[in-house]
Structure 1
């Protein structure tokens, strides 16, 4: 928010440092493009490949580009300004781990008692650096306990930036709905950025009655399937999309879209060549046909059996429910594998 110009913008951030993924939901003009469309936009930054996927939420259209080296989530490498680096959790809030931050005391903002830290910077904004005063507001521990919220790192409430000089600027960032939960990996969906000829619709069966395992923890089970798929095929987790489960007393049916490699070479230091789609499909098919593909749930491993199907969304045919049961009945006998 800019009190001087009375401009108010919003930005929702989903930050997964472990998997090097960030999602930004915003209106395009938040980045200063007054001529851009005002549709809500979702942008996924994959720092494993250095590629940003930008999706118009209303139309579903998608484009891709290099991750900007200067942004909310990225900064240039110290020895190569053309390559992007994912900010750490500290850098996300404080921009630079090298700055000298001083505790200023307790203040109240938005009706919340906060501990406030202050620092001087001379490198912001990046296009016209000037001396600026930064203030970070974090809810006091006592207020968090009263509100029923506790955070290991702290609960950020607000950031104030005031520049000095002949053309001072004042920016105010209010932070809402903050949490430290590990993001759901399915939040980083880039499937709309892939045409039918660069993705495959895949489904396979896990024979047996595991409803008691799957029903109470379907999201966890999907994540375990994701781990198995990426482990066997050596593809990035972001290339597994739209996973769905169906199950009855005889089997679990898993279906998902396997996406191709990143469409362009990204701007990260350690760029690794990705497994092509055809090879990844072949690896998975061989593992399933040989009954070596396993999904581990605690100490129980669920083995696949004799069938897997690959279909693309453009030409693929759907398997009707009656056919599902018939195929499941004909599947070879498989039991739980204990590890």
Structure 2
């Protein structure tokens, strides 16, 4: 199973038969070559290869009738798209369509990628009896807590694993596992024996390997999107520019070029220890709060215990 984290540009390749994992940069699945633009997560229109010039017109009529009650809506089984300009006709068939909201919180399991020393289990206790509410809204609360932890600790949500919620007549309990951050080198694609023609924004001396150079680039105060590592010269040359398609790279017998996988702003992740301390401080100072609305007049606010 290959899991892509588009918050960082990291791919987790998990082998469930051997229960091991490789952490590598996300590759461009459409080309898988060594010269590609920074990638991004496709939006729904891009999944169907549509652009802003397309507009929906008409109605869905390929549906199947449910036999589980009159209150259940029909489910789509086919989508047809006709392009009168090009004469092309696209047909998409849907199989095993499920109208339920998917539980994606524990669907992307990457715990095999980290050792026990790279994981921290935790529990947050919210006081009060909310059993009536949680019976129907457990997943919503679980998702909101994960997103709140991600926001407060600046962690990618995928680093919050094995989450669950249970409750009794006095409290609600949220359990989870925090994971360490992926190696910085996994956020960059490598061009071996090549260097870029950029004007370097910063050059660091005394660097002999790509791992150290990638970490320095990833945690740079400004934005660092690419670097040249020259172990023999012990230099790490950083640049704000990417390596897009068509950019000429010069041959080098002693240097390698690396470019960030993702486009857009750079998130400076923190490590496991700092993430746990940050979360703990928010909890102990009553700074961790989650609000869920059932309706405009009825809502629940969850505060942590002191």
TM-score by length of 1: 0.52
Runs of 4+ in 1 over 4 A off after TM superposition: 96-100, 145-148, 178-183
Could you tell me how far 1:218 is from its partner in structure 2? 1.6
Could you tell me how far 1:156 is from its partner in structure 2? 4.6
Q: Secondary structure at the match of 1:84?
A: coil
Could you tell me how far 1:97 is from its partner in structure 2? 4.4
Could you tell me how far 1:199 is from its partner in structure 2? 1.8
Aligned partner (choices 169, 176, 187) of residue 265 of structure 1:
187
What corresponds to 1:63 in structure 2?
A: 22
**Residues 126-275 of structure 1 correspond to what in structure 2 (within 5 A)?**
141-144=60-63, 149-150=74-75, 155-156=78-79, 176-178=95-97, 183-186=102-105, 187-263=107-183, 264-266=186-188, 267-270=261-264, 271-275=266-270
Give the Cα–Cα distance (whole angstroms) in 1 for the partners of residues 118 and 152 of structure 2: 20
What corresponds to 1:280 in structure 2?
A: 275
For residues 160-197 of structure 1, the C-alpha deviation after alignment (integer angstroms, 9 at most, x for no partner) is xxxxxxxxxxxxx9763356876533222322222212
| Residue correspondences, number | 208
Give the Cα–Cα distance (whole angstroms) in 2 for the partners of residues 99 and 209 of structure 1: 51
Could you tell me how far 1:240 is from its partner in structure 2? 0.9
Q: Secondary structure at the match of 1:262?
A: coil
**Contact 1:83/1:268 (8 A) holds in 2:** yes
**Greater RCO between the two (CA within 8 Å, min separation 6)?**
2
CA-based RMSD: 3.6
TM-score by length of 2: 0.57
For residues 100-141 of structure 1, the C-alpha deviation after alignment (integer angstroms, 9 at most, x for no partner) is 9xxxxxxxxxxxxxxxxxxxxxxxxxxxxxxxxxxxxxxx93
Q: Which has the larger share of strand?
A: 1
Could you tell me how far 1:204 is from its partner in structure 2? 2.2
Could you tell me how far 1:150 is from its partner in structure 2? 4.7
Structure 2: 5+ residue stretches without partners:
67-72, 82-91, 189-260, 294-298
**Residues 91-130 of structure 1 correspond to what in structure 2 (within 5 A)?**
91-94=46-49, 97=51
Structure 1: 5+ residue stretches without partners:
1-41, 101-139, 159-172, 307-339
